Structure 1
C-alpha cells in the first residue's frame, strides 16, 4: 500500500494576490484562515531557496503559534526549499517529530533531513521513530537519518531493509547510501530491493551513491532500463551514468545497454540512449548508434493516470521522445568529449530544427549549444529559431548562439530585438547570450541596461549579471548595479548584484 500523505489545501481562489513582500506575508499570516495561510506558505515554498530564506523568520514564528497540521506541513515544505539555510531553526522543527499527528511527524522528519548534519542534534529522537506504527513516519525517519548523515545509525537503517513496507525499505536504502562508507557494505541487500517495484527507485538511487560497492551491481541496474515505469527507467539511466566506469569494465552490462538501444520497444530504446548519454565520454565510441535515434519517430504518451490526477508531473521530452533522447544524449557526450569528428552529428541534430514539434527543437538546440563552435556551420538555422512562436524555442536559440559564437551582425540584431520580447525568459536569455558574445554583444549594453527596470525580477537579475560580464564596459555599470542592493529589491536581484560587483572587483582588466 502506497504512503498516504495529506496535502495542504489548494483552492486557487484563495491564492495570495498581493505578492510576497514581508509585509504582505505578515498580513496573510495574521488575518487569514489556516487553510489560506497554508496555501500562501506553500506558494512561497515553490519560489525557491533564496526567496524562502528571506521569509524564514516569519514562517517559523507562525509555526510556533499554530495548531494547524496544514500550516505545519506547509512550513516544513518551505524549510525543505530553504535547505541548510534553515539550520538556525532546526529546534523548532525537531518539536514537530513529537506531534500527535503522524503526517506532521512525517513532514517534520523530511524538513530536518533537508537541513543536513547541522540538525544532527535531533538524531536520537528521529532514531526512535524508526519503530513508529505509522508507515509514513518510519519512512520520514529513514529519510531524516540519511539527510543528517547519521553514520552510527547504519545498523538501525539496515534493519529497516526488512520493514513490512516496501516504501520504508526504499527509504532505508537511500539513507544507507547517504551515511557514507559505513552504509556501502549493505549494497548487496540494497540490490535485492530492485526486485520490489515500490522500493526500486530508491534502491537504484542508493546504488548510484555507493561507489565501488554499488558499481558491482551495474548489471542489475542496467536491467531496470526495461522497467514498465517511466520514472524508474529514467532513474536507472542516470545511475548508469554514475556507474560509467564499472559499466565500461563490465562487458555484459555495456553490451546489454547496446542491445536495449536496438529493442523493438521504443520506451526501452529511449532509456538505453539516455543511459549512454549519461555515461558521457565513456560512450563516445557509440555515438553513431545514438545518432540513429535522431531519425526515430517513437513517442510515449506524456499523460497517464498519475499526471492527469495531479499526482505526478509530466516526464521531460528526453524521456518520452526518441529524437529528444538522442539529442540529449549526444549533448551530454559532446560536453565531455571536446574533440573533433562531430560534423555528421551536428548536421543531423540541426536538421531537427525543421521539425514541427517544439520539444524536439528545444532538445536539438540544447545539443547544438553543447557542441558549441563545432556547430558553427549551422548558425543560420539556429538564428532562424529566434523568431519561433514558442517562447522557450526563442530563449534556447539565443543561448545556443552564444555558445556557438561567431555570430554575424544580422543574428546579433535579432538577439538584441529579443531584449524587448514579451516573455521574461526570452529577455533574460538574450541578455546573458549577448554578454557571452564578447565585444560584439557588448555593443548592445545600452539595451541590456534598460532591463534593469523591467517588471520581472528574473529579467533584472539577468541584466545585472549580463552587464557585469561585458568585459571593458562592465565597470561603467558598477554604480547602477550597486543600486540594485537596496532593501526593497527582490532577493534574487540583490544576490545577482553582489555576485556581479564581486566579479567586477576581481576582474584584473
Structure 2
C-alpha cells in the first residue's frame, strides 16, 4: 500500500508507513521504505525518514539521504527526529547541517530534535566543526534559537567553555519564545520547559553544566534554572541544603520542582520529611520530582513508603504513578509490602507508568519474580503494549533471570504486512 504508485491518498500512505514503524524490526522492508524517501509527497518522505530508523541498523546506510531532507521545510522536523535516533558516530558528517538548518528553525520540536542529535555526537567534533556557527546563533533574532543554542553548550560541558562569555550575555536576555503556545492551548502539545523558551534560563543551565565559576554570581539571579545548575556541582553543603529546602515554599511551581530535584540529586536525607509533604503539591511536576527524590534517598525515606505507595492508585498523573513504583523499588525491603500495587500498574492506561512498573518489579528480586508470568504477558503482547513497554518487561525479566523462558515475540500482524507489501518495489539488478 505504501509503495503503490496508483494510490493517491497520501494520508493513507503515511498511515501505512507509520504503522510499519510502530511494529518495527522487519529488516526486509528497509528497501521499500528507503525508496519512499524520494516520493513526490513531503509527508510521505517525512514518514519514511522516521520509519526507516525504526527498522534496525541498516537505516544508517541512508543517513545522508535523511540528512538531505533538512533542506526542505516540509521534511526538516522528521529528518531531525530521524537523525536523533541514529548513533552519534553516524551523525558527525551532518553536524553542520543540523546546526545551520535545524537548530535555527522556527519550530520548537525541530530545534529540540537538533539539540538531542548534536548531543549524541563527539563533543570535540562538534566544537571543531561548528564552534563559530554556534556562537553566532547565541545572538540570533529568535529567542527559541538562542535558548536551544545555549542548551547545545550545556551538552558540551567543559568543552563548551570557549563560548561561556557569549552564553553569559543571555543572562540579561528577558525574551521568551511563545511559538509553542497556540498548540499548547489547543491541547495538542505540552508546555515548553523554561530552558527551551527563555534564553536566560538556558544560559544558567548551560553555565552550570560547563562549571563556569567566572559567572556564578550572575547565575544566582535566575532561581529555577539555577537549581538545575547547582545540581551539576554535586555539593551537599548543609547551609546550601537548608537554603534550597526553603524554596519548597516558593509560589512558582518550577522553583519548587527544581528544589525537589536538587535535594534528591544530593541525597539530602535530612529533608525527607519536607519532600514527603511535596507529594501533595498541586503541581504534577512537583509531585514527580518529590517522589523521585524520595526514591534517591533509599532507606532514609522508608518512613514515607506508605505515602509513596498511595500515589500508585491516587495520583492523576501517569508520570507520578510510574515514579512512585520506581521509588518503592529503590526502598528495598520497605517497598516490598506494596509490590501487588506496583504489579497492578502493568495494566495502567499510561504506557510510561507500565514501563516503570516493569522496571520496578525487575529490581525487587524474589518478590518481583513472583510476577514473572505477568511480565511475560506484557513482553509477548504486541497489540496492547507499545515497544517501549515490552522492552521494559524484557529488561525486568532479564534482571530476574527469567528471560530465557520467553517464546519469541509474535510476528508483524498479517494485516499490516499485507498493506505494506501489496505492491512490491522493483529492485534494479
TM-score calculated relative to the size of structure 1: 0.59
Aligned-partner SS, 2:334 = coil
Task: Give the unaligned 5+ runs of structure 1.
Answer: 1-24, 128-138, 147-160, 262-269, 300-320, 491-509
**Match in the other structure for 2:249:** 295
Q: How does 1:260-299 map to 2 (within 5 A)?
A: 260-261=222-223, 270-277=224-231, 279-282=232-235, 286-299=240-253
Compared with structure 1, are the counterparts of its residues 26 and 60 closer, same or farther at alpha carbon in structure 2 (3 Å cutoff)? same
**Match in the other structure for 2:46:** 73
Q: How does 1:15-414 map to 2 (within 5 A)?
A: 26=2, 31=7, 33-41=9-17, 47=22, 55-64=29-38, 66-78=39-51, 86-90=59-63, 92-93=65-66, 103=73, 110=80, 118=90, 142-143=100-101, 179-183=125-129, 186=132, 189-190=135-136, 193=139, 197=143, 199-208=145-154, 209=156, 210-217=159-166, 219-224=168-173, 226-229=174-177, 230=194, 231-233=196-198, 234-243=201-210, 245-246=211-212, 249-250=213-214, 253-261=215-223, 270-277=224-231, 279-282=232-235, 286-299=240-253, 321-331=254-264, 333-334=265-266, 342-390=268-316, 392=318, 393-407=320-334, 410-414=337-341
Matched, 1:438 2:368: no
Structure 2: distance between partners of 1:426 and 1:105: 32
Structure 2: distance between partners of 1:478 and 1:386: 26
Check whether the contact 2:380–2:409 (CA below 8 A) recurs between aligned residues. Answer: no
**Match in the other structure for 1:504:** none
C-alpha distance after superposition, 1:407-456 (max 9, x if no partner): 25532333344445555544443332122122333344344345445432
Structure 2: distance between partners of 1:240 and 1:82: 38
Over alpha carbons, which structure has the higher Rg?
1
Check whether the contact 2:138–2:150 (CA below 8 A) recurs between aligned residues. Answer: no
Matched, 1:456 2:385: yes
Q: What displacement does 1:348 show?
A: 1.0
Check whether the contact 1:373–1:404 (CA below 8 A) recurs between aligned residues. Answer: yes
**Match in the other structure for 1:480:** 405
Aligned-partner SS, 2:169 = helix
Compared with structure 1, are the counterparts of its residues 254 and 61 closer, same or farther at alpha carbon in structure 2 (3 Å cutoff)? same
Structure 1: distance between partners of 2:56 and 2:147: 23
Compared with structure 1, are the counterparts of its residues 402 and 183 closer, same or farther at alpha carbon in structure 2 (3 Å cutoff)? same
RMSD (CA atoms): 4.6
Q: What displacement does 1:112 show?
A: 9.1
Q: What displacement does 1:71 show?
A: 2.0
Aligned-partner SS, 2:220 = helix
C-alpha distance after superposition, 1:126-185 (max 9, x if no partner): 99xxxxxxxxxxx778348x9xxxxxxxxxxxxxx9xxx999xx99x9889884443576
Structure showing greater relative contact order (alpha-carbon pairs closer than 8 Å, 6 or more residues apart)? 2
**Match in the other structure for 2:427:** none
Q: What displacement does 1:213 show?
A: 0.9
TM-score calculated relative to the size of structure 2: 0.68
Structure 2: distance between partners of 1:357 and 1:55: 44
Check whether the contact 2:138–2:166 (CA below 8 A) recurs between aligned residues. Answer: no
Structure 1: distance between partners of 2:56 and 2:398: 29
Aligned-partner SS, 2:40 = coil
